[in-house]
Amino acid sequence: MSEVVLRLVGVSRQYGSGETAVTALSGIDLEVARGELVAVMGASGSGKSTLLAIAGGLAAPTSGEVVVEGEFLSGLSSSRLAALRRRSLGFVFQDFNLIPTLTALENITLPLELDGFGARVARRAGRDALASVGLDDRRGAYPDELSGGQQQRVAIARAVVGSRRLILADEPTGALDTTTGDQVLRMLRSRVDAGAAAILVTHEARHASWADRILSLRDGRIVDETRRDGPDVLLAGARA
Ligand code: ADP
Ligand code: MG
């Protein structure tokens, strides 16, 4: 299994220019395959959010290439880039980013309908996605009627609905208590085991233990990479 979903080649990113320029990322090479969950750790300011934004085509690298499902993002027009983002990519942020005036189900079906799917097809895919995070019975609830953990599970469902195969999560458990955070990570892990690829930015080593690989960023560079090979009894226990 090494169907590469995301490839970063020599990616660097600077903000500003001249004396005040900040190098947020420097020479990042990274591949993430289907079925792989990669955790990114590092101090505040080390470049984690910039890495996710570039991987998801929300920001462009200053140099280097980003390839998502075989497409070079630099070669796409802005409308084709937007379409690729809607079709292939799901973002999960710390603050959930759900639309308060839409139900759980509507929050999930909106991106599909924007992408031209009919309402019935979108609804079916949305219900499947909600069921996959254990929330089908809450589909009519508005975000403020859901707990933090439920809201984040809706955000994960939205991130994986349809054929989205790359999930980019920036500290998705930051606003959640420990138990709820674990629940959300278990959900993310199971979506990856079902065939998605994901990057999880996290501060907590305990959360990174759900990943297949852990990258450490410092000053915009990958300074360490830990790979988990073969079965891991502790991890399997944690997933049960
Ligand atoms: P992290 O998510 O690890 O905290 P970021 O990717 O947010 O790191 O930031 C990496 C570096 O880039 C930091 O020095 C930050 O101050 C800088 N930076 C991030 N976004 C911007 C921006 N829009 N303009 C200028 N500097 C930025
Ligand atoms: Mg950040």
The domain made up of 4-239 has a fold known as: Rossmann fold (3.40.50)
The Å distance, Cα 109 to ligand 1 centre, comes to 32
pTM, full prediction: 0.88
d(CA 62, CA 158): 30
Neighbours of ion ligand 2 (CB under 5 A): 48-49
44 lines ligand 1 (CB under 6 A): yes
Residues written for the chain? 240
Residue type at 99 in one-letter notation = I
Question: What Rg do the C-alpha atoms of the chain give, in angstroms?
Answer: 18
42 ligand 1 Cβ < 6 A? yes
Residue-level pLDDT at 229: 66
Give the distance from CA 180 to its chain's centroid: 18
Is the CB of residue 73 less than 8 Å from the CB of residue 150? no
Helix, strand, or coil (residue 232): coil
Q: In 3-state terms, what secondary structure has residue 67?
A: strand
* Tens place of pLDDT per residue across the chain (240 aa): 469 999 999 999 999 999 999 999 999 999 999 999 999 999 999 999 999 999 999 999 999 999 999 999 999 999 999 989 888 899 988 888 899 999 999 999 998 888 888 999 999 999 998 988 889 999 999 999 999 989 989 998 898 887 788 999 999 888 888 888 888 888 889 889 989 999 999 988 888 989 999 999 999 999 999 987 654 544 444 444
Q: How far is CA 146 from CA 89, 129, 206, in A?
A: 24, 17, 26
Q: CA-CA distance, 57 to 42, in Å (whole number)?
A: 21
Q: Is 2 helix (H, G, I), strand (E, B) or coil?
A: coil
